[in-house]
Amino acid sequence: MPRYGMLIDLDKCTFCQGCTIACKSENNIPDGMFWNKVRAVPNGKPYPEYRVTPLPMPCMHCDDAPCVNVCPVSATYRRADGLVAIDYDKCIGCKYCIAACPYGARTFNKETPFAEVGGKPGWYNANVEVRPRGVVEKCTFCAHRIDAGNPTPACVQACPAKARIFGDLDNKNSEVSQLIAARKAKPLREELGTKPKVFYAEVQK
Amino acid sequence: MKERALWTNPWVVALAVLAALGLIGHVAVLMQGQKLFGSTDDVPWNILVSAYAFLAGAAAGVCFWTSAGEAFGLAGFKSVTRAGTLAALAALVAALVAIGSDLSRPLGILGFLVSANLQSPLWWMAETYSLLLVVLLAKAWAMSRGRKALEKNLAYAGVILGIVAPLVLGNLFGSLVARPLWNSWTTPVYFLILALAIGAAAMLGLAVQAGARSSLQPIGKMLAIALVLLAALLAVKVSGTDAQYSQLFLSGKLAGAFWVLQIAVGIALPLLILVTPLAKSYAGLAAGATLVGAFTARVIDLLAGQGLPVMTILKYKPYSATLTEVAMVAGVLGLAGFLFLAGSRFFTPPTSASKA
């Protein structure tokens, strides 16, 4: 069974937000909500040394996910392939998982999505359920694509710079594993012990 | 002398009105969703959670003191045991209404049984407070039937639960690595000490209400000890906290409420009263001030713990309580008071409190 993870090459990311838009389109995400967010990280230096590095942040799909640990009704769970998934039918909307996530990856549906257009957007993707009001949702690594035999999340497919690589972290010969090793890529906030599976290759000087 | 009808008591009416306001808010949220709340993805827990933590702490704290009084024969506590048990029950029911109101899909609580996650601190909190509810209901029943032996056995359970329940609730916050202000061993202990202080303050207020003069000094002493411990633990907690978090309430936007309501009103004023001859005449004020300070502490702790983004690079949407949330919080506080006063009519006969 593969253990899916992702490498994001910060040297290649151009801040185009193509990943964000592809994700919203693929997963029927309503206005104002984002599963993938590209953050701006300034280097703290004054002009003319001032630089901003884009930092795309999907869900980290941690191997020791705090959100999985805290959910009282097992609505958030870890799949055998390492993806952290949500069973929306079980979610009670306590938001403990949102409080627990150290990466700000989760978002809460305060309103019925797309209610103003009859429950489905114009670009509706029938492969992904529209989540109901009152549940928490987040990036799924496009689990529906993986389950359909196409392990390529929409953000990976959409990136024009090929900054995102997705694959089996347990396969040492996979492109993602090789690049993580070659670029000495690191996950975010490693010291918290959450074992995130999104790795970042730093900008090469 | 013929007893006045319940509804002629202006306090009962006022509290019932508050509870009704809360109900209106709750119905509005059921119909329109939590867009009526000011909570955000950065501040997912709102003041309803603060109200829950306060009322649950009150229930556990009062349960502890009434049970300790019965189990260990503490002088001064026995005269308010009945009223205390009812107060703990009223607080716990209101607490459950508060937290239930914050769940967007409360019918899913069946999942606590059919798909329980035993790793979840929230699951353990739900079970512990459910057990507390059972023990309190059983105690109330035993009292009403004069079943002294059962009462005493339940008192031992009440002592244990009065300590375990706040610790479990504190651990719910303390186990979150994403929230540095809460992620410390001091958090569960702080919840326990605060619960004991709230409980002692409530007992003191009940003793004043019942005219049980002989109870004022022993209960007041316990409250004073709890307040000193609280102040000391707060100092330890703040000194061990990342300055960017503690500055939110030491010198930032929460500073006014922290220094005036939580410290001056909630700790300094009651201590000043309790350790001086003022205690004879102003014990009720000490009790009330402690409760105001404790409620403020709950709100500040919740807001400060979520007061910064989980990562500095993330944008942050701050929280501002909406009218609906304020109404619902006022509603559950009113409900607790209403249940106590209304329940007193049926549970505590008018002549049962000793006036010594």
Complex ipTM:
0.93
Query: How many angstroms separate the Cα of A172 from the Cα of each of A61, A168, A190, A196?
Result: 19, 8, 21, 18
Is residue B110 within 8 A of residue A74, CB to CB? The reply is no
Determine which of A84-98, B282-296, B335-349 has the lowest per-residue pLDDT on average.
B335-349
Structure tokens given for B60:
């556990």
B102 interfacial to chain A (CB closer than 8 Å): yes
**Contact criterion met (CB < 8 Å) for B41 and A98:** yes
Residue B354 has a pLDDT of: 40
Residue B26 and residue A17: Cα distance in Å, rounded?
Answer: 39
A8 three-class SS = strand
Instruction: Please list the residues that pair with B208 across neighbouring strands.
Output: none
Q: How far is B175 from chain A (nearest CA, A)?
A: 9
Residue B69 and residue A46: Cα distance in Å, rounded?
Answer: 66
Pick from A71, A100, A112: CB nearest B178: A100
Pick from A90, A95, A192: CB nearest B44: A95
Residue B192 and residue B171: Cα distance in Å, rounded?
Answer: 10
B281 interfacial to chain A (CB closer than 8 Å): no
Which residue of chain A is at minimal alpha-carbon distance from B40?
A108
Written as one string, the DSSP assignment of B226-241 is HHHHHHHHHHHHHHTS
Residue B29 and residue B105: Cα distance in Å, rounded?
Answer: 11
Report the half-sphere exposure of A185 (CA within 13 A, side-chain side): 26
A172 three-class SS = coil
Q: Which of residues 20-59 of B touch A (CB under 8 A)?
A: 33-35, 37, 39, 41-42, 44-45
**Contact criterion met (CB < 8 Å) for A71 and B120:** yes
Which residue of chain B is at minimal alpha-carbon distance from A94?
B103
pLDDT at residue B353 is higher than 50: no
Q: How far is A166 from chain B (nearest CA, A)?
A: 24
Is residue B297 within 8 A of residue B50, CB to CB? The reply is no
**Contact criterion met (CB < 8 Å) for B310 and A101:** yes
Rounded to 10 degrees, the C-alpha dihedral B350/B331/B160/B177 comes to -170
DSSP annotation of A33 reads: -
Task: Give the CA angle between residues B162, B167, B170 to the nearest 5°.
Answer: 130
Contacting residues of B for A135, CB less than 8 Å apart: 104-105
Give pTM, 2 decimals.
0.94
Q: How far is B113 from chain A (nearest CA, A)?
A: 8
Cβ neighbours of B172 (radius 10 Å):
24
User: Percent of chain A, pLDDT > 90?
Assistant: 87
**Contact criterion met (CB < 8 Å) for B122 and A72:** yes
Residue B91 and residue B93: Cα distance in Å, rounded?
Answer: 6
Determine which of B295-309, B317-331, B337-351 has the lowest per-residue pLDDT on average.
B337-351
Residue B2 has a pLDDT of: 56
Residue A27 and residue A24: Cα distance in Å, rounded?
Answer: 5
**Contact criterion met (CB < 8 Å) for B177 and A95:** no
Q: How far is B62 from chain A (nearest CA, A)?
A: 27
Determine which of A52-66, A150-164, B115-129, B241-255 has the lowest per-residue pLDDT on average.
B241-255
pLDDT, tens digit, 9 for 90 and up, residues B238-262: 888 878 888 899 999 999 999 999 9
Residue B114 has a pLDDT of: 95
Q: How far is A172 from chain B (nearest CA, A)?
A: 31
- Chosen from B39, B104, B123 to mutate, greatest number of chain A CBs within 10 A: B104
A to B CB pairs, distance under 8 Å: 122
Cβ neighbours of A48 (radius 10 Å):
6
Structure tokens given for B312:
């500095």
Residue B156 and residue A35: Cα distance in Å, rounded?
Answer: 50
Residue A120 has a pLDDT of: 85
A160, A164, A110, A117: which is closest to A142 by C-alpha?
A164
Strands A107-108 and A136-137: antiparallel
